[in-house]
A and B are shown apart, each in its own frame.
Chain A
Amino acid sequence: MKRILKKSAELALLVTVFLIVIGPMVSLFLWSVAQKWYWPHPLPQAITFDYWAQALGLKTSLAIGAVSIVSAFTLSILIALATVVIAMAIAIPAGYALAKYKIPFGTIILFLFLLPNAFPQQPVFVNILQVFTKIGLSGTIPGVMLIHILVGLVYGVWITNATFRSIPPSMEEAARSVGATAFKAFYKISLPLAAPGLFSSAVFVFLTSLDEFTGTFFIGLPFINTLPLTLYSSSGYNMQFASVIALILLVPSVIFMLLIQKVLKAEYVGGMG
């Protein structure tokens, strides 16, 4: 009796979790193909893939109010990639230095990276907009990228720092003792050992950039139109089109999450335990 109760409780939990995770996605998908869907029908009354076709640029018809999002998608991906490269180029040395050396005010520096995310974003970005307008960065791709780097660096630096901290100093010292220079010890020992952590941190930066809305809204509009902004501007009047964009935005996230899981399972991580 007790076992049956336990089993059914487990099943109920599983179903709930499944609904919480998958439910919204199912709903999004249904919306993205709904041509006609009126209350109280549980499912769309008529189905069309026109919104997908138009969003992906395969079809052009002004009747349903959807436009191609290919250019916005490409721009978003490019900005995200560039953001990752620049942010990680800052985060890896910073995270390593803060982990390995006794830097004066090290903890304060670490918290500085957290600041842009610790305050309400709107006032921060309104102020940045003023500064950026003065120096001609607002409405430009570099301006938007700077914002994305600022927001993404917290993940970059904090995760990178924690990763390097978890590697015992003796790993590099052992390398030095057999003749490796400080740089070789970092490059051949610490870096490969930190790779899974650095990869996850890069993925977080990438996804943060891809989904970034508030900063891009203030700094980028009307010239820079990324995917989240397109989603926002269409969601008011065109639920189907918004659903298409939302689902497309999910794709990179899901891919990267699967990748992280793969990388974190990689052989040598087990040895670090």
Chain B
Amino acid sequence: MAELVLKDLVIKYGKVTALNRLNLTIKDGELVTLLGPSGCGKTTTLRSVSGFLPVQEGDIFLNGKRITDIAPENRGIGLVFQNYALWPHMTVFKNLAFGLELRKLPAEEIKKRVAAVLASVKMDEYADRFPRQLSGGQQQRIALARAIILEPDILLLDEPLSNLDALLREQMRFEIAAIHNRLGITTMYVTHDQTEAMVISNRIVVMRNGKVMQEGKPEDIYMRPRNKFVAGFMGTTCFLEGIVERFDGERCILKTNDGFELYGIGTELQIGHKAYAAVRPEYILLGKRAEASYGSSERNCFKAIVDRSNFTGELLDYQLKLGSNFIRAKEYEAKTIYGIGQTVDVKIDEERLPIVHDTDPEAVAV
């Protein structure tokens, strides 16, 4: 069992509060991603767990043991850095063997374990290379191997894929997820890339200003964001501002500033208060497709004017003018291409239209 618990962590850099009473639990074997823009405190959190950043208030527990004041080398952590941090003066073998040698394991055992871990990251043939002879992706695999070879209680990854190109990044996401599934190491993963977080995580923690804004399964965070910040951070979101008019069963009805009535999903809202509809481009039906679904209900059906359209190959990406606001719409397998200035029917999927309030009251910086 390796459970990580952060309790009321406070870290300040001078007058700036980087972590503001942060509470977080990562269960045994779970892969949790800390997601947020730069300066949100995600890297600070990771560095406090690794032991390189002293904690000013609060505590860190690993397996129920308080590790807040323990030196980094005695915490049983595995670390993967954005810049790989392989030691350039050592071969791949030496890089991997370093930790084992410090533990004074017999040479035979070291050889066996290095070979095994190299196989697990599919780098068997590279033991005698120097890091500079490897590509970025290969270096990151070795860095990952070095972090797991000692079978740490917890694996910490700090934006490990940010330096890789897009294609490789996508491939490495799946590999990291696969290695995590196979080894079941409790893992904290830090990134600012929401897609990466969606693909890789058991659970996502969205952070801002040193506070947790929302935590939950990737699909929950995406489908049911708690506030405008989370909704805006996940996916391509356009906001329509309005006032919460009423509730109808599970639906929340928002009256926008242009007078449209929008049906959506939303909790933690009060009638008469300001709120925002988070319109996602992939949940909008256009033209005939919108008409075809009129039968079921005419709710959330509007007329919009095409302001811009981009054909990206796999899809058509529109910017539409709805009242005085702009929204984006993405259409796959488009049969009709609408021209600029044309009026089109739109229907926004009400089950996938989160209505959120502006700021999480809890998250207001103290």
**B77, B102, B131, most chain A CB atoms within 10 A:** B102
**A178, A270, A271, A272, most chain B CB atoms within 10 A:** A178
Closest-CB distance, B45 to chain A (whole angstroms):
16
Q: CA of A169 to CA of B225 in the docked complex: distance in angstroms?
A: 37
Query: Does any Cβ of A come within 8 Å of B165's Cβ?
Result: no
Q: Which residues of A contact B (CB under 8 A)?
A: 168, 170-171, 173-182, 184, 188-189, 192-193, 267-268, 270-273
Q: CA of A273 to CA of B130 in the docked complex: distance in angstroms?
A: 13
From B51, B83, B98, B150, contact of A170 by CB (8 A): B83
- Beyond A168-B85, A173-B85, whether A271 also contacts B132 by CB under 8 A is yes
Task: Kindly list chain A residues whose C-beta atoms are within 8 Å of the C-beta of B85.
Answer: 168, 170-171, 173-174
Closest-CB distance, A187 to chain B (whole angstroms):
12
From B51, B86, B150, contact of A179 by CB (8 A): B150
Task: Kindly list chain B residues whose C-beta atoms are within 8 Å of the C-beta of A184.
Answer: 102
CB pair B146–A174 under 8 Å, yes or no, is yes
Size of B's binding interface in residues, CB under 8 A: 29
Task: Kindly list chain B residues whose C-beta atoms are within 8 Å of the C-beta of A267.
Answer: 130
Complex A-B: 8 CB contacts under 8 Å = A170-B85, A173-B50, A175-B87, A178-B98, A181-B71, A182-B71, A270-B88, A271-B89
Query: Does any Cβ of A come within 8 Å of B79's Cβ?
Result: yes
**B50, B89, B99, B150, most chain A CB atoms within 10 A:** B89
CB pair A193–B73 under 8 Å, yes or no, is no
Binary A-proximity of B86-97 (CB < 8 A = 1, otherwise 0): 111100000000
Task: Kindly list chain A residues whose C-beta atoms are within 8 Å of the C-beta of B79.
Answer: 173-174, 177
CB pair A272–B88 under 8 Å, yes or no, is yes
Query: Does any Cβ of A come within 8 Å of B190's Cβ?
Result: no
Task: Kindly list chain A residues whose C-beta atoms are within 8 Å of the C-beta of B216.
Answer: none
Q: Using CB atoms, name the residue of chain B closest to A170.
A: B85
Main secondary structure of the interface of A (DSSP, over half): helix
Task: Kindly list chain A residues whose C-beta atoms are within 8 Å of the C-beta of B323.
Answer: none
**A168, A171, A176, A268, most chain B CB atoms within 10 A:** A176
CB pair A193–B98 under 8 Å, yes or no, is no
Binary A-proximity of B111-143 (CB < 8 A = 1, otherwise 0): 000000000000000000011100000000001
Q: Using CB atoms, name the residue of chain A closest to B102.
A: A179
Interface of chain B residues 130 through 168 with chain A (CB within 8 A): 130-132, 143, 146-147, 149-150
Closest-CB distance, B358 to chain A (whole angstroms):
38
Q: CA of A123 to CA of B132 in the docked complex: distance in angstroms?
A: 51
CB pair B102–A178 under 8 Å, yes or no, is yes
Closest-CB distance, B71 to chain A (whole angstroms):
8
**B78, B99, B143, most chain A CB atoms within 10 A:** B99
CB pair A181–B73 under 8 Å, yes or no, is yes
CB pair A192–B52 under 8 Å, yes or no, is no
Q: Using CB atoms, name the residue of chain B closest to A168.
A: B83
Q: Using CB atoms, name the residue of chain B closest to A173.
A: B52
Q: Using CB atoms, name the residue of chain A closest to B95.
A: A174
**A175, A177, A184, A193, most chain B CB atoms within 10 A:** A177
Query: Does any Cβ of A come within 8 Å of B335's Cβ?
Result: no
Task: Kindly list chain B residues whose C-beta atoms are within 8 Å of the C-beta of A192.
Answer: 89
CB pair A174–B81 under 8 Å, yes or no, is yes
Query: Does any Cβ of A come within 8 Å of B232's Cβ?
Result: no
From A178, A270, A272, contact of B150 by CB (8 A): A178
Task: Kindly list chain A residues whose C-beta atoms are within 8 Å of the C-beta of B51.
Answer: 176
Q: Using CB atoms, name the residue of chain B closest to A176.
A: B72
Task: Kindly list chain B residues whose C-beta atoms are within 8 Å of the C-beta of A175.
Answer: 87, 98
Closest-CB distance, B351 to chain A (whole angstroms):
45
The 9 residue pairs across chains A and B that have the minimum distance between CB atoms = A271-B88, A178-B99, A170-B85, A271-B132, A268-B89, A177-B79, A174-B85, A176-B72, A170-B81
Given contacts A168-B83, A170-B81, 8 further A-B contacts (CB under 8 A): A176-B71, A177-B50, A177-B79, A179-B74, A179-B103, A179-B150, A271-B88, A271-B131
Q: CA of A270 to CA of B130 in the docked complex: distance in angstroms?
A: 11
Task: Kindly list chain A residues whose C-beta atoms are within 8 Å of the C-beta of B71.
Answer: 176, 181-182
**A179, A180, A184, A270, most chain B CB atoms within 10 A:** A179
Binary A-proximity of B184-205 (CB < 8 A = 1, otherwise 0): 0000000000000000000000
Q: CA of A175 to CA of B52 in the docked complex: distance in angstroms?
A: 12
Task: Kindly list chain A residues whose C-beta atoms are within 8 Å of the C-beta of B73.
Answer: 176-181
From A170, A181, A193, contact of B88 by CB (8 A): A193
